[in-house]
A = this chain, B = another copy of it.
Amino acid sequence: MAPKTLDLHQDAALLTAQLVDFPSVSGEEKALADAIETALRQLDHLEILRHGNNVLARTRLGHPERVVLAGHIDTVPIAGNVPSRLDEDGTLWGCGTSDMKSGVAVQLRIAATVTEPNRDLTFVFYDNEEVEAHRNGLGHIARDLPDWMAGDFAVLLEPSSGEVEGGCQGTLRVLLRTVGQRAHSARSWMGENAVHAAAPILNRLAAYEPRRVVIDGLEYREGLNAVRIGGGVAGNVIPDECVVTVNYRYAPDLGEEQALAHVREVFADCGVKELVVDDHSGAALPGLGHPAAAAFMAAVGGTPQPKFGWTDVSRFSALGVPAVNYGPGEPSLAHRVDERVDTAKILHCEERLRSWLTD
């Protein structure tokens, strides 16, 4: 059975196992949020705030710099892979091992053990990351308590194989609609085929040359793709509508308006009757030029990589806080039945962050 309290004296690997055995599927994070809050309230050096099932903690040491360590406490649905299981070779198996209870364990260990950090620290534990964006706890904090996300630099402990992934690309999804006129397909000259009218859109997509953009030494790779196409009424009817859903993934040198303007330009003169923005999340600059970021890079080592997918780092970026992904989990194992994590990477991550925050 799930334990009722968390033991922050264990190392981050053992603590990860304890967190995995504490089921917290999106929407059902209360028990784990309670346990995290209870454990953190034992620590005298931290100010604690509970907001829904989000738990916030920070030091108030008056340092000139503040950094934020953030992570989500929810997981995708359990698929027979809880409780956790530790192999002899140090592999820990179970739902959330990589995404991202290993990261949360590192956050908790830093909170518990780095009582006199060289920079002020804010810890954010949030809910509902694995579900619709409007439920995302970090989004709620950004809206309701932006002061708790303020800082010079933020680290999101999402799975990144222990590599630093800087910034993130933006993602814009638009619906391109062509229209025609219905008719019986036996008398097709009476109608106008909206699916045929989508040919120029697909031609434009097939011919598109995506940009590669270098920022802070990181090469971002864009993409412009149809992710869906649909049209048709019945097997004997000329379609009067076709919708191509296009996803533009863009480098962080573009703002949201510039990205949308680019897409409009690409599909100008393609016979698009209507262009509707279905979804839009801006990009985030890596911000590796900041001194706190430079010190972080020196401590964790390695070569930073660009982040192609959209992540919650952009919620920090939108508030003017440069942010990176850096966590012990393996992203390619996230959401899988055979999800697992290398416990050595958890310990390494814990050690590198401690080094950055104490040296």
Question: Chain A interface (Cβ within 8 Å of chain B)?
Answer: 169, 171, 173, 184-189, 193, 195-199, 202-203, 205-206, 210, 221, 223, 225-239, 242, 244-245, 247, 249, 278-279, 308-310
Does B206 lie within 8 Å of A186, measured CB to CB? no
Does A235 lie within 8 Å of B231, measured CB to CB? no
Chain A binding site: helix, strand, loop or mixed by DSSP? mixed
Does B227 lie within 8 Å of A237, measured CB to CB? yes
Does B185 lie within 8 Å of A225, measured CB to CB? yes
Given contacts A202-B202, A206-B199, contact A227 B238 (CB under 8 A): yes
Does B238 lie within 8 Å of A228, measured CB to CB? no
Query: Which residues of chain B have C-beta atoms less than 8 A from A196's C-beta?
Result: 202, 205-206, 225-226
Closest to A168 in B: B186
State the Cβ distance, A252 to closest chain B Cβ, in Å.
13
Query: Which residues of chain B have C-beta atoms less than 8 A from A205's C-beta?
Result: 193, 195-196, 199
Does B193 lie within 8 Å of A199, measured CB to CB? no
Does B221 lie within 8 Å of A189, measured CB to CB? yes
Other CB < 8 Å A-B pairs besides A193-B226, A227-B238, 15 of them?
A185-B247, A188-B225, A193-B205, A193-B225, A195-B225, A195-B227, A196-B206, A199-B203, A202-B202, A227-B235, A228-B235, A228-B239, A229-B229, A229-B239, A230-B231
CA distance A189 to B211 in the complex (A): 12
Does B238 lie within 8 Å of A225, measured CB to CB? yes
Query: Which residues of chain B have C-beta atoms less than 8 A from A197's C-beta?
Result: 206
CA distance A205 to B237 in the complex (A): 15
Does A195 lie within 8 Å of B249, measured CB to CB? no
State the Cβ distance, A167 to closest chain B Cβ, in Å.
13
Closest to A203 in B: B199
